[in-house]
């Protein structure tokens, strides 16, 4: 039994999602690739980025920016796994092969 060492949230998510393992079905992969931030969230992220550049980001704003960053990282892991899964299907291999 392996004992996990101290990890960041990103480390744990990377191990759980295992983006390098092509285990999503084509339909699941396509649905995941369609996920994205809506216009309101994109606008808010731009506002927070501007506040950060101008040095006016409050602690509350920083927490909000951190939340967007974590969600973005989670989406990037899922989308990476989805792209690899679709490429894997294109090679004719099964999910158990990889």
pLDDT score recorded for residue 2: 64
> Percentage of residues in the chain with pLDDT exceeding 70?
88
Give the model confidence (pLDDT) of 12-54 as tens digits.
999 999 999 999 999 999 999 999 999 999 999 999 999 999 9
pLDDT score recorded for residue 83: 97
Q: How far apart are CA 28 and CA 51, in angstroms?
A: 37
Prediction pTM value: 0.80
**Alpha carbon separation from 18 to 3, 48, 78, 79, 87 (Å, rounded):** 18, 30, 9, 11, 16
């Amino acid at each position: 039994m392996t004992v996990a060492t101290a990890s960041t949230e990103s480390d744990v998510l990377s191990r759980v999602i295992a983006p390098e393992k092509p285990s999503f079905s084509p339909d699941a992969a396509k649905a995941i690739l369609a996920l994205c931030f809506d216009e309101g969230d994109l606008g808010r992220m731009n506002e927070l980025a501007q506040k950060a550049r101008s040095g006016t980001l409050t602690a509350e704003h920083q927490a909000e920016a951190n939340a967007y960053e974590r969600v973005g990282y989670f989406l990037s892991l899922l989308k990476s796994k989805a792209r690899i899964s679709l490429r894997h299907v294109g090679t004719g291999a099964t999910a158990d092969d990889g």
